[in-house]
Chains A and B, each alone.
Chain A
Amino acid sequence: MGTRRLLLALAVAAVLIALSLLLGRFGAYLVRAVAIAGIGALSLNLLIGYCGQISFAQGALLGVGAYVAGNLGNAGVDGVLALLGAGVATAAIGALIGLPALRLRGLYFAIATLAAQAILEYLFKMLEPFTGGVSGLVIRQPAFFGVPVASDQVSAAVSVLVLLIAWLALTRLTRTNLGRAFLVVRESEVVAKGMGIDVARTKAWAFAISGFVAGIAGGLIGFAARLASPEAFTLDLSADYIAMIIVGGLGSWAGPLVGAAFVVLLPEAIQRVGEAFDIANLLSALRELAFGLLIILFLIFEPRGLSSLLPRLRWAQPRRRGAAPSLGEPGGAAVATKGGERP
């Protein structure tokens, strides 16, 4: 990442944080929802977009984060430590979910993650002392560095700050040897082995790091909703996150953020358009249909996602800078294999 891009990211985050503090509660809620979804989408993008490991367990991993952060927060642990604790615990669970990836690939591994999602959902209901069972876990108001986060505005500002940190950390990560190893594993495990990359270890790191970020996002979800319940972390949520990275642009760093904004704000936009024309209830019924249709259209006409549109605008750079470097590109792996095709 160049200095110019870094400064731009910092400026955007500063504006968003300031805006969050000035907005009403509803506006702040939207900013927070987009920021948290953005963190979760970044985490999934690392796994699918950069390491090529398809996972349908993102919803459950967010749930693990929410429950861990909620329990720690309820026990009086500071919000920052609770979020870090949620990240560590979810990283461990994420690595565990990734174990089958050592033997399974592609569709078979994706099915294994589906099973993991189902198992975790079941555990959310059964581990009552930890999760509150089917009633869910009511989470107390969090405090960060001892300061209670009482308002939606402050909570939104905190979420934007965490998003910025996650974004900076993950974009930096992909410029390291480990990040480049992710790309090689994504392109071809055989080539990765040939290059001396420990494929199993690389995948385990991808799951752990992705899990860590997902856990933090889950913790923020729990603190925001003040309730972690099994019904909130189902396969539907996993599907929403996959939609975010597909719509935004798989394998780019701007994509998950654009996708998160799109998926979170689209229902609100449809609702308001419906209200303006007095057909809100009709549009409500068609909303899921429209959402599904949009994803299909994206896959057909714009498979690289919304973020790929940005460079084509006049004011933007002609080259797609935010995208994950392919093999053979500067910043990518040293050798090219498949011409840098996206997964």
Chain B
Amino acid sequence: MKKRILGALFAAGVAAAAAPSRAADLTICAWGTITGPDALVNGMAYGTRDYFEFLNQFRGGIAGNKVNTLLLDGRYKLDEELKIYRRCVDQENAVYVNGWSTGSVNALKDQIGGDGVPFMTDSFASQVLDPEKLPYIFMAGPTYEQQMIIALRDLKQKGGKRVVLMHADNEYGRGPVSVVRQSGIIPKLGLELVDTVEFRYDAQDLTGQLLRVKSRNPDMVYIQSSAPQALVTLRDAAKVGLPARLFIGNMYDISPTIPEQLGPAAEGFRAIQIYAQFGEEIPAMKDIEAFKAKNKIAKEDIYYMKGWLQGTAMSAAIGNAIQKSGGKVPSDLKAFRKLVRDEMEALRDVNTGGITPPLNYADHQGSTQARIAEIKDGKYAVAGEWIDAR
């Protein structure tokens, strides 16, 4: 009997796979790492979903049309993400898709163009940003390379010269470092690259590497990796006598875990901050607070703000497309997707409620500006003005 019940449940689940989910005026499909190796930053997946829910609850949807937002777990597994993409495009008939990993967008980039579906990528990899060759793919901020350039410009402004680049041994680590090195931007800025240090993505001890870094006497060490690796780096840097103020990381290195776990050893560590922090005094927080009063927010962090911003941009394009279609969602999904793409590219000076400077999507990035945040008294605080990577 137990086997039959198990079998029936399994069959019911698979059978349900054949049917699309809830009916609504229009569907947005998003996937993130709800469970998986980079779940630490999955606030951005919740942020996007919540923004569309906010529109449903407080603004009557988009131009009067209710939005069904589907958030799925890609688990940071390529096969899972490729499967979800097909579900979003083919079964859910999503008008806009928001996808997660660099690997999946890279694998899907031709299909996204072939399907003609607007795609907001959570990745900041430059290889998936090309308005001409990849006209349907958009992102929400400066690429990893541009984030590095922002840090280099900050160093130049402050009179520093000697740079060390540290990066993980995966695509996320190696790719941007390679692009920046080959671009020649470091000598062009009058800086000197004194060393490049690679480490294992899951390294638990970097003492040896940091002794080498110390021997180079750098003015700045840029870490192209995420918070867990930054944590190990800063811990071992303190061991060998390198102060945290020498180190700067990308936007995924803003994590309360770093000051919480390292205490004084983290003081002075900096990271690229593209979005406003959760809780900052900006107009967008009023909307978020209003939403929070009626709903539970899964992650109250800077990545949630990124997701909220993505929702803002996506919904602006969808709203404009609906307006151009006479205020109704067109029945021809293919034509509607194309229109949304065109409207996305046409977005200019979109007010983000202070999360970022106004967005301009002609270049498919929205914004190429960022500020630098610094850990002071155990908290990240903005330490300068907006710097444009272009």
List residues of A whose CB falls within 8 A of some B CB. Answer: 24-27, 29-30, 33, 125, 133-136, 138, 141, 152, 224-227, 229, 231-232, 262, 265-273, 275-276, 280-281, 284-285, 287-288, 309
- Chain-A contact segment, one of B10-18, B55-63, B351-359, B380-388: B10-18
B261 to chain A, nearest CB (A): 23
Question: Is B14 a contact of A288 with CB atoms below 8 Å?
Answer: no
Residues of B within 8 A of A26 (CB): 17, 83, 86-87, 90-91
Given A227-B106, A285-B34, 14 new contacts (CB under 8 A): A24-B91, A134-B170, A134-B171, A134-B175, A138-B106, A226-B110, A227-B103, A227-B107, A229-B78, A267-B80, A268-B83, A273-B9, A281-B71, A309-B3
Contact partner of A136 (CB less than 8 A), chosen from B16, B75, B103, B111, is: B103
Residues of A within 8 A of B169 (CB): 125, 134
B333 to chain A, nearest CB (A): 14
Question: Is B106 a contact of A285 with CB atoms below 8 Å?
Answer: no
Instruction: Give A138's nearest chain B residue, CB to CB.
Output: B106
Residues of B within 8 A of A269 (CB): 9-10, 12-14, 16-17
Residues of A within 8 A of B103 (CB): 136, 227, 229, 231-232
Residues of A within 8 A of B72 (CB): 271, 280
* B21 interface residue per 8 A CB criterion: yes
Q: Which of B34-58 contact A (CB under 8 A)?
A: 34-35
Residues of B within 8 A of A30 (CB): 17, 83
Main secondary structure of the interface of A (DSSP, over half): helix
10 A-B pairs closest in CB distance: A269-B13, A227-B107, A25-B90, A272-B16, A284-B73, A134-B171, A26-B86, A26-B91, A272-B13, A29-B86
A167 to B298, CA, bound (A): 47
Question: Is B78 a contact of A227 with CB atoms below 8 Å?
Answer: yes
Contact partner of B17 (CB less than 8 A), chosen from A135, A224, A232, A268, is: A268
Question: Is A25 a contact of B89 with CB atoms below 8 Å?
Answer: yes
Q: Which of B9, B71, B83 has the most CB of A within 10 A?
A: B83
A27 to B13, CA, bound (A): 13
B107 to chain A, nearest CB (A): 4
20 contacting pairs across A/B (C-beta < 8 A)? A25-B90, A29-B83, A29-B86, A134-B174, A135-B127, A135-B174, A136-B103, A136-B106, A138-B106, A224-B82, A229-B103, A231-B78, A231-B170, A268-B14, A270-B13, A280-B72, A280-B73, A284-B75, A285-B35, A287-B73
B35 to chain A, nearest CB (A): 5
B233 to chain A, nearest CB (A): 19
Main secondary structure of the interface of B (DSSP, over half): helix
A33 to B83, CA, bound (A): 9
A30 to B13, CA, bound (A): 13
| A133-B174 in contact given A26-B17, A226-B107, A265-B10 (Cβ < 8 Å) | yes
A4 to B10, CA, bound (A): 29
A266 to B35, CA, bound (A): 16
* B79 interface residue per 8 A CB criterion: yes
Produce 1/0 per residue, B163-177, CB < 8 A to A. 000000111011100
Q: Which of B87, B110, B174 has the most CB of A within 10 A?
A: B87
Instruction: Give B81's nearest chain A residue, CB to CB.
Output: A225
Question: Is A287 a contact of B90 with CB atoms below 8 Å?
Answer: no
Question: Is A225 a contact of B13 with CB atoms below 8 Å?
Answer: no
Produce 1/0 per residue, B234-263, CB < 8 A to A. 000000000000000000000000000000
Q: Which of B118-149 contact A (CB under 8 A)?
A: 127
A224 to B110, CA, bound (A): 13
A99 to chain B, nearest CB (A): 28
Instruction: Give B15's nearest chain A residue, CB to CB.
Output: A272
Residues of B within 8 A of A270 (CB): 13
A136 to B34, CA, bound (A): 24
Q: Which of A276, A281, A285 has the most CB of B within 10 A?
A: A281
Question: Is B34 a contact of A284 with CB atoms below 8 Å?
Answer: yes
Question: Is A229 a contact of B171 with CB atoms below 8 Å?
Answer: yes
A149 to chain B, nearest CB (A): 13
Q: Which of B1-35 contact A (CB under 8 A)?
A: 3, 9-10, 12-14, 16-18, 21, 34-35
A268 to B111, CA, bound (A): 22
Residues of B within 8 A of A271 (CB): 13, 72-73
Instruction: Give B11's nearest chain A residue, CB to CB.
Output: A269
A33 to B77, CA, bound (A): 14
Instruction: Give A132's nearest chain B residue, CB to CB.
Output: B171
A125 to B175, CA, bound (A): 13
B38 to chain A, nearest CB (A): 12
Instruction: Give A36's nearest chain B residue, CB to CB.
Output: B79
Instruction: Give A287's nearest chain B residue, CB to CB.
Output: B35
A141 to B114, CA, bound (A): 12
Residues of B within 8 A of A224 (CB): 82
Residues of A within 8 A of B171 (CB): 133-136, 229
Instruction: Give A273's nearest chain B residue, CB to CB.
Output: B13
| A25-B86 in contact given A227-B106, A229-B171, A284-B35 (Cβ < 8 Å) | yes
A146 to B21, CA, bound (A): 38
A193 to B186, CA, bound (A): 67
Residues of A within 8 A of B3 (CB): 309
A73 to chain B, nearest CB (A): 14
